[in-house]
Structure 1
């Protein structure tokens, strides 16, 4: 009987040790907040699903538009459909910092970037939302007018023809 008691006690101790060493289960999953390609139009524009964060829905969607244009300009769009150009428009190293005076004005609230973003491919209820205590993240469908944006950068002498 004494042997059975010690065996049971040892078994419980081992069970507690192994249960305490298990990996912590995550409540929320990791979500990638990078722009993804949905398609390319015949005029050279790219349709993207872009994410933005803000204190409310309007701020988050405005940030998503900026992120979509910034990705087309400086990163290229690798996620999603292979139709979009993986190559960014501006291939010069550190161009965003070098031309900071230009791009800070270009991306200001209500700035020039709005001329190169269209919401015409957006479908009703296509936005996705995630949130935490301080910020809301929204994804939305935007069309970036890549060829017109490229022409503007050539005119402003950021890109060479």
Structure 2
């Protein structure tokens, strides 16, 4: 009887240890993917990897492009190679809030002029669908961003000096 009780205690202990050490599954829908610098083309363009989520592929691609531009303008790119520079284009605080109408219009139509799919063969394009969460899907895109043209556009519109 004592041997049976010892065996049950040992089995329960092993079960608790094994299930307690298991890493929880990550839900990519709630993971915050940050923009990563892949290189500098030395002509005012930089190559970045950006993530976007959406209900379908087109919406996810558009969100990835917008996320890349938002990070370049407001946060700076801190991940990946140092060639892209970590300083944001817009350093004045509250610029987004003070120019809300401008940026709403910018991110609905104008932003497409400054970002493009990096030229790669179609089969090598980086579309990594992640597990669906709340009917959203995440994609990674390799993008070319024309930072010099973006900066001159922001200067012309009196957003930066």
The answer to whether TM tops 0.5 is: yes
Q: Pairwise mapping of residues 1-161 of structure 1 onto structure 2 (< 5 A)?
A: 5-20=1-16, 22-28=20-26, 33-108=33-108, 111-124=109-122, 125-127=124-126, 128-133=128-133, 134-160=135-161
**TM-score when scaled to structure 1?**
0.85
Q: Quick one: higher RCO (CA 8 Å, sep 6+), 1 or 2? A: 2
Point out where structure 1 has 5 or more consecutive residues left out of the alignment. Answer: none
Q: CA deviation at 1:86?
A: 0.5
Structure 2 CA distance for aligned equivalents of residues 68 and 6 of structure 1: 65
SS of corresponding position for 1:25: coil
The structure in which a higher percent of residues are helix is: 2
Q: Which has the larger radius of gyration?
A: 1
Q: CA deviation at 1:16?
A: 0.9
Distance 1:120 1:7, change over 3 A: closer
**TM-score when scaled to structure 2?**
0.85
Structure 2 CA distance for aligned equivalents of residues 82 and 135 of structure 1: 31
Structure 2 CA distance for aligned equivalents of residues 114 and 122 of structure 1: 18
SS of corresponding position for 2:24: coil
Q: CA deviation at 1:78?
A: 1.0
Q: 2:116·2:145 contact (CA, 8 Å) conserved in 1? A: yes
Q: CA deviation at 1:120?
A: 3.9
Structure 1 CA distance for aligned equivalents of residues 121 and 75 of structure 2: 26
Q: 1:122·1:140 contact (CA, 8 Å) conserved in 2? A: no
Structure 1 CA distance for aligned equivalents of residues 37 and 26 of structure 2: 25
Q: Deviations over 1:86-111 (max 9, x none)?
A: 00000112221121111111012xx1
Q: Give the CA RMSD over aligned residues.
A: 2.0
Q: 1:47·1:121 contact (CA, 8 Å) conserved in 2? A: no
Structure 1 CA distance for aligned equivalents of residues 14 and 100 of structure 2: 55
Number of residue pairs aligned between Structure 1 and Structure 2:
154
